[in-house]
Structure 1
Amino acid sequence: MLVFFVFLNNRLSALKVADYSNLNYFGPLQSIPYLGPIYGGVRVGASVYIQGSVPENITRFRINLLCGESDSSDVALHFNPRFDGWDKVVFNSRKDGSWMSEEKIRRMPFSKGEAFELVIMITSKGFQTKVNGKDFFLFPHRLPVEQIRAIQVSGDVSIQTINIIGAAGGGGALPGGTGGGYPGGNMGQGGYPGGSMGGGYPDGMGGGMGQGGYPGGHMGQGGYPAGHMGAGCPDGMGGRYPGSDMGGGFPGSHLPGMAGQPVYNPPVPFSTWIPGGMLPKRTIIIRGSVPHGAQRMGFNLVVSRTRDVAFHMNPRVQEGVVVRNAQTGGQWGSEERQLSGSPFAEGQYFDMSIRCGNQRFKVFVNGQHLFDFFHRTNFSEIDKLEIDGDVQISYVHF
């Protein structure tokens, strides 16, 4: 276990960095332009997960995946949104000092003055980009991904966090001591202050690295245990609906809002009250990743008064199945397993939406409908979300 000391609000804090081989975590970036190493490089199956915001007066910004640790290195991926009257996103690569042919996508997934989430998934075919939960463009590989060694960010953008999920090498702290290793490390003074990144998020959404924590062991064969989970987050998580294919919008959009804020990088086990309980059309957004070696995880919607589990979702990673069930009066009902496959794979990012209807829950993962689960109890009594098992959570929002 390594211990780094970093200054937060002029106070000295001890930051323990867990030995975690599948994720590089770069905390809040205080200055742009930025160039930093990706420890051990990346591989097919890895994802780059970025939370940030763009100013009202944006012209353009750039995110480069570099085949070296200098500004002059080859560029495997050049991602360049341009607000120039003909708004577009330019993709390109640079080899031996020369830029190759541009790919211009004349659509703009970013909005001036608003927050965004960008995921770059490294597939066997290319870099699949997703912005605010929606697929944007697949840029074919031009240089071997095994050569990628660094990430570079410049231009009109503020960055809250960068996660490299499924990196080939071990995690670690950002050079210079501005961030640290696996988000599961315990942040002594409570994380980075919100809104201190040169503007941060609009609507006060900045900061918040959370306490982290990787669960020890995994869950028993009989489904999710009935015992309670660790302490959760305070009430009032509502906020604006984040982006999904289910009628929501990303925070900062003009959709109807609710009180409260999203939770970033919470510890697992994680427990929180559902503000106002479950209602028809209420949607829960959960984003995270599955670490290598993961066995299983549990997502529960609970009636705290009776401890009944109205909806239990149990992805079993090694088996490639997603078990669904409910528990009433201490007794589990019949399991539902029928699916053509599971989207929860080792080293992979996921973006999940659970939407409550009058008759059933509808679950979407990575923009695709996964299954429906018909209510077995009175869904209006559900008032708690619990998450446990082998999973890292980066974002939760109602």
Structure 2
Amino acid sequence: MAATIFEPLVPLSIATDAIKPGRKIYIDGIPTGESFEIDLMDDEQNIAIHFNPIFAKEQVVMYSRLGGSCKQERRITEDFPFEVGKAFNIGVACEEKAFVITVNRHVVYEFPYCMSYEEITNILIDGKVVLSAVGLDSELQPQSDLELPNPFLMGLPPMVPGQIIRVEGMPQEGRFAINLTTGPEASDDIAFHFNPRFDSGNVIVRNTRVAGKWQKEERDLPGECEFSFKIGKPFKLAIICRECDYEVMFDGVLLLTFKHRLNYEYVKYLLIKGNITLTAVCVDFERKAPVSANYGLTAMKPVRSIYLEGIPTANGTNNQFSFSLQAGKNGNGTKALFFNARIHDKVLVMNSQLDGAWQKEEHHEIPFKIGERFKVIISCYKKEFRVSVNGNERTEFEFKHRMDCQVIRDLWVLGDVAVLEAYTDLAEINTE
């Protein structure tokens, strides 16, 4: 059985006692800058292996550190396998005498043990990288009883409608809880407390805690829904954030809803604890690029801004992405603003589409690079849109309105880009 964390935030620290021959750590992600690093450590901060790709020098640095002193440092420049903006898969296998590290499923490096692998208790990942999955695998020992830490605490990206938290595990006798909290401390507010209890008559308690005080519990299940958890039986749970409530899906079927008592925007952490064997956690979205989502664009008008953060990704030679502000879920051939970053042509194109007909293009110097994180702010003024990239005056673009902006209902993102965040700001701006 494998344990996997999907889309974790960096820096990431995972406690483990499962490093032994026959097991492998796998890490999937996209490098976004000058370097990132992977450390396997013990409780005394001794490092069994430090793995550090450095892009400016196109080299991989490896060493161990015992008692503050580095051992067996290696700097390898041959066949550097990483590229900024290009997805990778790293495997760290624990063999009899050495770590064997693969990149994109090719054997690349070996590093001999300087300390016993049995002393490794932590995996640390940090640096310029966006992680898509980190797991502990046991392909050579399928009877493994590997599991995620308990309690399990993980930082969450900003909560937005359509965001999904997926949890897989196996309940034990007693009770367990899944909490969406405002912070990492035990005293922090809990926006949503989901608490199946076998020891209280098979009931699921839902609640909110603010300033240390629990509010009114909800225990009844709607309609014909039943208590679906069984001791020792694996389950898949999905908590979906909606505008007015959370939806909880059990094995793909709607189990219950819970109305927001604390604004979902305050939710920053996921905490899972209690009598549960936890095997996988995933932060997901209902739509991924290419993505069509109504990010609160009930009517675009000259008091609103849209924020979009992401990373351009590599996909062969024809690398480009676009976003558009359009009327309706499918656009109906009407786009008030079409913003197209053609990285392969080193040009930024802005245009509009009216009743299916493209209008005159406007060309600019492109401000994006593959693998470099960006933040775009689209502000709607009385006469034009203003698009700012990374807060730089030299990369601020104006686009005159060619249609009534209040018909805009949707933000559409398409192409070679990893979307990290998208939201609207209803605060008034200076529209002159």
TM-score strictly above 0.5: no
Tell which structure's C-alpha radius of gyration is larger: 2
More strand by share: 2
Under TM normalisation by the shorter chain, which class is it? Answer: 0.3 to 0.5
Normalising by structure 1, we get a TM-score of 0.45
